Amino acid sequence: MVTVGLYHYLFISTILFSLGIFGIVTRKNAVMVLMGIELILNAANINFVAFARYGNFGFQGQLMALFVIILAAAEAAIALAIVLNIYKVFSSVNVDEINRLKE
């Protein structure tokens, strides 16, 4: 178990995924929920790149990691725009206080 192999990378991504879910479930601030989502996306990316190295997919795993990074950038931009709008309407971004869609 000392020599680093596929299992080590999968272990790290499992822990990152669990921590991301913990962050999403327990934080009240919407920006912190976004950070949890970033952790989960990065955990998936580590899996993609690790399987690109140790599996038999060639370079397509790295390509998928690239696509995930691009989608994460788009997601962060949209989500922060929505969070700013929520702050304008409610003067707070706590996800447990936001309970109506109408302004």
Region 41-70 residues binding other proteins, contact defined as CB under 8 A: 42, 45-46, 49-50, 52-56, 58-60, 62-63, 65-67, 69-70
DSSP state of 91: S
Minimum distance from CB of 99 to other proteins (Å)?
Answer: 15
Q: CA-to-CA distance for 88 and 2, rounded, in angstroms?
A: 52
Closest CA to 96 of 22, 25, 42: 25
Give whichever of 72 and 100 is closer to other proteins, judged by the CB atom: 72
Minimum distance from CB of 100 to other proteins (Å)?
Answer: 17
Q: CA-to-CA distance for 81 and 79, rounded, in angstroms?
A: 5
Minimum distance from CB of 102 to other proteins (Å)?
Answer: 15
